[in-house]
Amino acid sequence: MTATPTTVRPSNPPIALAIAGSETSGGAGAQTDLKTFAQLGVFGCVSLTCIVSFDPKNDFAHRLHAIDPQVLADQIEAAVGVHGTIDAVKIGMLGTIPTIETVAGALEQYRFANVVVDPVLICKGQEAGAALDIDNALREKVLPYATITTPNLFETQVLAGVEEITTVDALKDAAKRIYDHGVPNVLAKAGTLLGTGTALDVFYDGQTLEVLEVPAIGQERVSGAGCTLAAAITAELAKGASPLDACRTAKDVVVSSIENRMHGNAPFDCVYQGRYGRQ
């Protein structure tokens, strides 16, 4: 008698959810998050907060269309309902106070194990007063749920409550200030803006204060680098890495993504993650 072979299903990879905006060119936002997740061996899903498209007829300025808050809540509910356990969540572009409130409600409801908040405080084209209201809402309603936050230099200044950061020591101090606001892990990003000849960020978790540096690749900004960094941290946390190790890996992913950047008709290049680990 011939035995019937048993089908063994491979175990599922870790699952990461990006709550972020769509950037239609593929160079940033949720599209970049998904590519980064896949490159690092993590299954990615998305709940869209808004749709951003560049306007080729207006110097590639941003056009932003917010997703209805209930539609956003439904997307998050669906992701959790399908997968059960979400190993890590990345919070990207939110853009409006109703969106922020919806995301905060979901974070309270689902209590995800790992939450990476990439605090996009200002989107080009926002009025200053509206931007300030959004900044305050993000800080008050979403940041308290963060496992780690990844502010750029301007966002670090805002979150730390300082006017200017021009030195590594000042960046270290700002990271500590953000930690003191209740964020357990902080990656304060300066990139090339401190003139060190490197792309420099500071990690702080209340005990470890570490400067993370990688070679600087030119001085021009590349679209999607910040999204890639936060998404790579999210993927590594989903796989079980410590926050510091996740940040170290993410820095390497960004270097590769900038080295292999995409060129197009816009007055800026965008990242490409597809060669990381294959070079």
Domains of the chain: 13-258 (3.40.1190.20)
Helix (H, G, I), strand (E, B) or coil at 54: strand
Structure tokens given for 104: 């905060």
Rounded Cα distance, 150 and 47, in Å:
20
pTM of the model: 0.93
pLDDT in tens, the chain (279 residues): 555 666 666 789 999 999 999 999 999 999 999 999 999 999 999 999 999 998 888 988 888 899 999 999 999 999 999 999 999 999 999 989 999 999 999 999 999 999 999 998 754 444 444 567 888 899 999 999 999 999 999 999 989 999 999 999 999 999 999 999 999 999 999 999 998 989 999 999 999 999 999 988 877 789 999 999 999 999 999 999 999 999 999 999 999 999 999 999 989 999 999 999 875
Can you tell me the distance from the alpha carbon of 135 to that of 114, in angstroms, rounded to the nearest whole number?
Answer: 22
Q: What is the pLDDT of residue 63?
A: 87
pLDDT number for residue 87: 98
> Rounded CA gap, 67 and 79, in Å?
16
pLDDT score, position 59: 87
22, β-bridge pairs: 29, 51
pLDDT of residue 129: 44
Instruction: Outline where the chain has alpha helix (H).
Output: 29-39, 69-83, 97-110, 128-141, 153-160, 168-180, 225-238, 243-259
Is residue 137 helix, strand or coil?
helix
Please give the pLDDT value at position 136: 87
Measured over all CA atoms, what is the biggest interatomic distance in the chain, rounded to whole angstroms?
80
Tell me, what DSSP letter sits at residue 142?
Answer: T
| pLDDT value at residue 3 | 58
The pLDDT value given to residue 124: 43
pLDDT of residue 132: 75
Q: What are phi and psi of 53, to 5 degrees?
A: -135, 140
* Whole-number pLDDT of residue 128: 42
Q: Which 8-state DSSP code applies to residue 34?
A: H
Give phi and psi for 104, each to the nearest 5: -60, -40
